[in-house]
A and B are shown apart, each in its own frame.
Chain A
Amino acid sequence: MSGGASVALEAVTKRYGTETVVAGVSLAIPAGEFFTLLGPSGSGKTTTLSMLAGFVIPDEGRVVMGGQDMTQVPPRGRGLGMVFQNYAIFPHLNVAENVAFPLTVKGAPKAEIQARVAEALAMVKLTGFEARYARQLSGGQQQRVALARAIVAHPRIVLMDEPLGALDKNLRFHMQVEIKEIQQRLGMTAIYVTHDQEEALTMSDRIAIMDGGRIAQMGPPREVYEKPDSRFVAAFLGEANLLDVTRDGALVRGPGGGAIEAGAGQGTTLFVRPEKVTVSAAAPSGGPNQLPGQVLHASFLGNVVRYAVDVGQGATVLADAVNGPGAVLHAPGAPVTLHWRAEDSRLLAA
């Protein structure tokens, strides 16, 4: 198997007219890593991917692949595999010809092309579909063709631009698993662009969250999820409680005036995930990180009950309680006490 190659962006900038779309992005991806660029539309993730592919030449900075400077190299010289957003399957070619395309262009021998196409199609479980055309395939099957075409030449780096965006939820989950499996089997470096945070968390070794053309935070999924550096990252990845707190000397006070202790950080916004907050009917015991409040509403989601709790001063805290054995349901209007551990919370800059 081919294995992967390292990828690096060094202070890469791209402007269109007066607008800076990507502003000095640097990142280093070791060989074989599954790396995700995550961000809302307009955050610069697609432009970043385009610079990696070679469709866009950066105004400043360097693109390095496998230790070689690729900044000015056209797409065909970069030896990449790529899965496109709407698959970009050639409508005038059948499945086999589509998958064979990267090899045909190179002028590979017929026998080799046949063997490799068969292998790639087997890998995406599309054996037997060789003679079909894209319009005769379902969305999921088209996705597989695109994937097979991306890996058929055993590239060391594969780029994926929202590859699952057009699929329904169930299929998406299946394909996440399959893509990850193939990537690991072939050992390729994968760079994956998505705006779907769940997808990013499930699949990635590391995630870079982009905002306004910059990388807001970069790290393994669990780290960026649990230890966000900014309100943007906290709010973008899943549900987050972001409470305004006040500083009283060394002391930090929450909405009701109760003492707050946070795991880390210096700002005046308290971050804590809903699933880290416990809800109890008992009165506050006097320790830190205890907020009295009133249940506004309780949404029953099956395995989880999500409470919205009014903690005074117009602030609402979300708390997820697992619907486990002997779980009690707090009715709207009931007085409750919220609590969380200091290490599960952080103070972020406002």
Chain B
Amino acid sequence: MMGPVLRATLMKAVIVLLCFGMVAPIVIVAIASFSGDGYLKFPPESFSSQWYARFLGDQRWRDAILNSVVIGLMTSVFSTLLGFLAAYALVRAELPWRRALMSLLLTPVIVPHVVTAVAMYFLSARMGLVGVRPWIAVAHSVVAMPVVLIILQSALRTVDPALERAAMVFGCTRWGVFRRVVVPLALPGVVSAALFSFLTSFDELVISLFLAGVRAETLPVRIWNSLLLEVEPTIAAVSTLLILVTMLALGADALLRRMRGEGGALPGK
């Protein structure tokens, strides 16, 4: 028989180990990216920024960064704008088939990205849209929309409808109510939604793989293409950049929530 104390300690050890296992790969890649050795080795025997120099010195990688950022920003603005209107309607209106509608709006997460990507490619190839950055952003918006809707719906639910009525009585048009009351109150949620939709686009691989062509290669696509050849160390540097962007986004989101005095609520719950 194990004593309860021993059991609790064992349980704790398992949890610590699992948590460590979750972050270790990411941390190791980040450390290895500063390796001064000729090939990727952990722990590195010497440190240098050679892989970053190689990464940033390469015109194709620099183009990929630019493409990723541009597409990410466009996705962020587009999906947050559309999502805000839709989330407002979903929160405020009594719609028939609301649950079914919500399930439909969330399907892009469920449908395998390969299927979505192939189908979009089928359409884009026929319309000459392959390699067009705004179009890739529109495609990314489809897969970013579920996250955006979930975040914005929960943000808008915290806005008391009585405040909107008050604004209307005191002279606001519908648009005025939006501008003066709804948007300012939902602003942390809006920024959150913008951050996560940017991240979704920035990290997206499969759809970009089909739609990017050679003109609009994004960072994940570039990683993919070089990984197919070899596990080259430059990618550790690129990966670290992507991890850094993720951390920045999560940090900014946490900061926003703290400012609003909310707990660490996560999208997807």
Contact = CB atoms under 8 A, between A and B. Distances in A.
Contacts of B184: 92
A74 interface: yes
A92 B180 CA distance: 10
Interface string B153-181: 00000001011011111111100100011
A264 interface: no
Range for the number of chain B residues in contact with chain A: 10 to 19
A105 B185 contact: no
Contact of B165 (A53, A101, A105, A149): A53
B181 A76 contact: no
A80 B171 CA distance: 9
A167 B259 CA distance: 29
Given A53-B165, A84-B165, A88-B165, A149 B170 contact: yes
Contact of B172 (A53, A54, A105): A105
Contact of A105 (B162, B163, B171): B171
Nearest to A102: B170
B180 A105 contact: yes
Contacts of A55: 165, 168
Contacts of B160: 86, 88
B162 A74 contact: no
Contacts of A78: 169
The interface size bin for chain A is: 20 to 34
A101 B162 contact: no
Contacts of A210: none
A82 B180 CA distance: 18
The dominant DSSP class at the B interface is: helix
Contact of A86 (B162, B167, B170, B185): B162
B168 A74 contact: yes
Contacts of A80: 169
**B160, B176, B185, most chain A CB atoms within 10 A:** B160
A80 B185 CA distance: 24
Interface string A178-222: 000000000000000000000000000000000000000000000
A81 B162 CA distance: 14
A105 B170 contact: yes
A21 to B, nearest CB: 16
A106 B166 CA distance: 14
Contacts of A106: 171
Contact of B162 (A84, A92, A102): A84
Given A53-B165, A86-B162, A102 B185 contact: no
Interface string A61-86: 00000000000001110101110111
A36 B163 CA distance: 23
B173 A90 contact: no
Contacts of A102: 170-171
Contacts of B180: 101, 105
Nearest to A152: B170
Interface string B238-254: 00000000000000000
B163 A75 contact: no
A88 B168 contact: no
Nearest to B184: A92
A299 B98 CA distance: 56
Contact of A82 (B169, B172, B173, B185): B169
Interface in A112-137: none
Given A84-B162, A86-B162, A105-B176, A76 B185 contact: no
Nearest to B187: A92
A105 B169 CA distance: 11
A88 B170 contact: no
A91 interface: yes
B176 to A, nearest CB: 6
B98 to A, nearest CB: 17
Given A92-B184, A92-B185, A105-B180, A84 B172 contact: no
Contacts of B167: 90, 101, 105
Contacts of A82: 166, 169-170
A90 B163 contact: yes
Most buried by A among B166, B168, B172: B166
A84 B167 CA distance: 11
Nearest to A106: B171
B168 A91 contact: no
B169 A53 contact: yes
Max count, chain B CB within 10 A of own CB: residue among A53, A84, A90: A90
Interface in B48-68: none
A53 B162 CA distance: 13
Nearest to A85: B162
A84 B168 contact: no
Interface of A: 53-55, 74-76, 78, 80-82, 84-86, 88, 90-92, 101-102, 105-106, 149, 153, 159
10 contacts: A76-B168, A78-B169, A82-B169, A82-B170, A84-B166, A90-B163, A90-B185, A105-B170, A105-B172, A105-B176
Given A92-B185, A102-B170, 9 more contacts: A76-B169, A80-B169, A82-B170, A86-B162, A88-B160, A88-B163, A88-B165, A90-B167, A105-B170
Give the 4 A-B residue pairs with the shortest CB-CB distance, closest first.
Answer: A102-B170, A105-B171, A88-B162, A88-B166
